[in-house]
Structure 1
Amino acid sequence: MEVALDETLLAEVPNAKFGIIHYENITIGHSPQMLKGRLQLFQESLFFELENKNISEIPEIKEWRSVFKRLGKDPNRYRHSAEALYRRVKKQKYMPSINSATDINNFFSLKYRIPLGIYDKDLIKGNVMIRKGRIEESYLGLNGRENSVENLPVAADDAGPFGSPFVDSMRTAVTPAAKNAVQIVYLPLSIEKEEAEKLVESLASMFTHINGGNSRFSILSN
């Protein structure tokens, strides 16, 4: 299974960059105490940092808000997942530990202020294209609702969209049954390629340190 970037999406957002990480032979379960502790402590310290900050003006969050706006989606109605996490933290509604894959996603999303998605590779049908959501496309999301992904950046396979920086679908959700996965890192628009590679490599290293298996990654961009 390969992941490609649609040229029409790049035409509208020419500086968009995506980190793609493939994982094989992983074991997902309860997070180790080290990860649970880091996630909790990071949220607690972030709460005090955000006390007098306008979340929508944080540079990385602002950049992905601008992507939504450029593609025709109102970023005030459809907040990308990193912004949604930050708003939860500001209200002291901290994310609990879920599993060893989701917790790493949430930790890195908070640390780098960007959306991330992770998907069970064995539930993906064919190859993946990162493109713009089409008219009337939607899916049942992890939030338990049917979500319109029209005019959002989406990851789509032969069966249609299954992921976006807004909310991911139930169809390809990673659970403890997953043995292979693919992770999409919605990188800051302003990041340089060398820095992007270091960020993605760091994420892949932490993921396999906790979940085992092996990884390979690439950066998709213009």
Structure 2
Amino acid sequence: MQIGVIHYTNIHISDSSTMLKGRLQFHQELLHFDLLDSDTLTEDEIRTHHGRILQSIQKEDYLLPIHSGIDLTHFFMLEYQLPITLHDTGSLYLPLQKKGNALYDQTKEIASPFCMDQTTSTSEATVHAIQCFFFSHASTTHTYSELLEAAGTMFTHVHGGTFKIELL
């Protein structure tokens, strides 16, 4: 499994715009009907936090808006059909390292397709963050770098700042 990391600097997270909230809600409603029409999720999909979110959407238990950083990350997860997490780098002990399918800082696991560390979560006070994309071997819709560039561009369009991508 490849892990893509987008490093964001000098961002401004705030309450989500009406447009972002609307797009997230609309996307969830569309997914709900797609999930009703398809076979149930596989055991492997349900084990990931992304799969658990899809399972909730299938039951019409939709994601509620939190703030622009998390809401856009949720939108990316639904759009790209990948586990994606967002972390405040102020809560991390850098450098990061990949071990198996997980990402660690110098003290603990911070993200994997199966869970994420809530102690590194973002808030409206977050200025620097990382966004982790967990690419399964079946992810072929876009090249990983193109997908990360597109996500980083959209994220910084909403939040300002700059970004750089890294594949682990």
Count matched residues: 168
Cα deviations by residue, 1:88-124 (Å, 9 ceiling, x for unpaired): 1100001011111111111111112110011111211
Q: Contact 2:16–2:65 at 8 Å: present in 1 too?
A: yes
Distance 1:193 1:48 in 2: 22
Identity %: 29
Q: Pick the structure with more helix per residue.
A: 2
Runs of 4+ in 1 over 4 A off after TM superposition: none
Q: Contact 2:72–2:155 at 8 Å: present in 1 too?
A: yes
Residue in structure 1 matched with residue 104 of structure 2 by the alignment: 156
| C-alpha spacing 1:51/1:193, structure 2 compared with 1 (3 Å) | closer
Residue in structure 2 matched with residue 4 of structure 1 by the alignment: none
Q: Contact 1:55–1:83 at 8 Å: present in 2 too?
A: no
TM-score normalized by the length of structure 2: 0.91
Q: Contact 1:200–1:217 at 8 Å: present in 2 too?
A: yes
Amino acid at match of 1:48: F
Residue in structure 2 matched with residue 31 of structure 1 by the alignment: 16
Deviation of the 1:193 alpha carbon = 9.8
Deviation of the 1:56 alpha carbon = 2.6
Cα deviations by residue, 1:25-71 (Å, 9 ceiling, x for unpaired): 001110111111110000111111111322435xxxx8xx3xxxxxx
Q: Radius of gyration: which is bigger?
A: 1
Residue 29 of structure 1 aligns to a residue whose secondary structure is: coil
- Aligned with 1:98 (options 46, 63, 66): 66
Mark the runs of 5 or more structure 2 residues left unpaired by the alignment.
none
Residue in structure 1 matched with residue 122 of structure 2 by the alignment: 174
RMSD over aligned Cα atoms: 1.9
1:118 aligns with 2:86: yes
Mapping of 1:2-81 within 5 angstroms?
16-57=1-42, 65=44, 79-81=47-49
